[in-house]
Amino acid sequence: MPLIKMKNRSMSQKAVALSMPDQTQRILGFGLLALALLVMQVVTAAARGAPETFADLVEKVSPAVVNITTMTKVATQIGPQGIVPEGSPFEDLFRDFTDRQGRPRSANALGSGFVISEDGYIVTNNHVIDGADEIMIEFFDGKELPATLVGRDKNVDIALLKVEAGGALPFVDFGDSDVARVGDWVMAMGNPLGQGFSVSAGIISARNRELSGAYDDFIQTDAAINRGNSGGPLFDMDGDVIGVNTAIMSPTGGSIGIGFSMASKVVEPVVKQLKEFGEVRRGWLGVNIGDVTQDMAQALGMDTPAGAIIRDVFDGPAKDAGLLSMDVILMFDGKDVGDAGALVRLVGAAPVGKTVKTVVLRDGKRQTIDVVLGKRPEPEDIASTSEAAPEPTADMVLGMAVGTLNDELREKYKIAKDVDGIVVLSVDADTNAAEKGMQEGDVITDAGQKPVRSVDDFQAQIDATAEAGRQSLLVLVRRDGQPRFVVLNVE
């Protein structure tokens, strides 16, 4: 029945159309065609998400973007010295010349920044102002003001400056870089190559890039970024800052469409602490961690690799809370830990003194441990400690001759006093241990997430692994003082 009704209605419409004059039909047809084309254009633009122009956004945010010029006094003395004899008629002339040459010279550097509050706080890269004796801010309207350094954080290359403008300044807000997606439009502003205020646009090419820093979380973009753009803002289409332009990858020194902006989720908490304390007070867990590989995951009975596995536990919050070497940290402060880098960023963003629930995998089971975060100390102040080793024993295990550490073995293999475990005395070349790279002098400190202090401890973990139906055992090994994980076949 519905099909018949549709058919009848269609026939009726056709009859009406045939009764119209030809000219009227053509006008109606052109009108419908134009409407269809307009709808297609609107749908296509909406699907593409491409802005018709960036002009309105540029006009909105430009007053808050600044150029930064720094001046550094460099004391040098150029030219020959001591070649004019004392009493020479040219002595005074030569002295005047060398005095002028010996005076401090000014070295200039250029960068970018942006105002984040009406009372004159400005964000830029630390490398823009590092070592500067004077910092001058140029605003979009041409006004120039001197700036003072409030604080800096070399770890994420961020510095906070302050100017006294004598009135309210235009400013921009930080946006949420976590909601930014690959393919989203972005706009960069700054002072490329010292050419003054300049705008470039592109898309987010990648997320969560790491370059060299422990707290790196870069947004990669193809918006043109060049020298001088450092410290400038990367805007989303709402005019919020989702990144600070920091670095480029280029064989020529110029933009080839691979630029990196430190994500706002990293920068914003750093800026808040610089503003409040003049320094960054990062949370510290007190562990040395690594990624969980596929082999490690199988040895630990995990379905897929995830989390961060503990290599070392130092004197500090983790040790006080009871965390152990070979614990796999799966969640921290309610957030999943994807890998070691993710945990470093989560801990670094957490405030000192906070009690954080930390979920670890230990002996195949999840445990929740409360850790009170400390303040990150200087690297040289971090030291691991262990209990004293028992008397030596020796045996052949998994194709390796192993013995319990004693003073003689420590001296022979240059093993630190704070390292405990069993030492590898030799490795059979035709075994899985040799294939996995085990060497004489290696110290096995942990196996199967249990500390190893004797050959019996090691054998017990091998037996437990076999009884659990697993073929591989994860061991923590120290070589030349550095920890590494090895997955050994127990068959």
Rounded to whole angstroms, the Cα distance separating 339 from 365 reads 19
- Angstrom CA distances, 347 to 4, 242, 263, 371, 418, stand at 69, 21, 17, 11, 26
The burial of 53, by beta-carbon neighbours within 10 Å (0-12 exposed, 13-18 middle, 19 or more buried), is given as exposed
Please provide residue 347's backbone torsions phi and psi, each rounded to the nearest 5 degrees: -65, -40
Residues listed for the chain: 491
Rounded to whole angstroms, the Cα distance separating 167 from 63 reads 14
Please provide residue 44's backbone torsions phi and psi, each rounded to the nearest 5 degrees: -65, -45
What are the tokens at 409? 């073995």
Q: Pick the catalytic residue: 127, 264, 327, 442?
A: 127
Rounded to whole angstroms, the Cα distance separating 400 from 388 reads 24
Q: Pick the catalytic residue: 153, 157, 222, 240?
A: 157
User: Is the Cβ–Cβ distance between 444 and 421 less than 8 Å?
Assistant: yes
Q: Is 198 a residue of the active site?
A: no
Q: Which of 370, 304, 299, 293 shows the shortest CA–CA distance to 331?
A: 370
- Angstrom CA distances, 181 to 154, 220, 222, 237, stand at 27, 11, 14, 12
Q: Pick the catalytic residue: 112, 230, 255, 261?
A: 230
Q: Which of 219, 189, 179 shows the shortest CA–CA distance to 203?
A: 219
Q: Which of 383, 445, 439, 374 shows the shortest CA–CA distance to 413?
A: 439
Q: Is 127 a residue of the active site?
A: yes
CA dihedral 442→447→450→452, nearest 10 degrees, is -40
Q: Quote the distance between the C-alpha of residue 167 and its chain's center.
A: 36
Q: Where are the extended beta strands (E) located within 320-479? A: 328-332, 335-336, 355-362, 365-372, 374-375, 394-397, 400-404, 422-427, 443-447, 450-451, 472-479
The residue whose two tokens read 């976590």 is 178
Please provide residue 450's backbone torsions phi and psi, each rounded to the nearest 5 degrees: -130, 140
Q: Which residues are catalytic?
A: 127, 157, 230
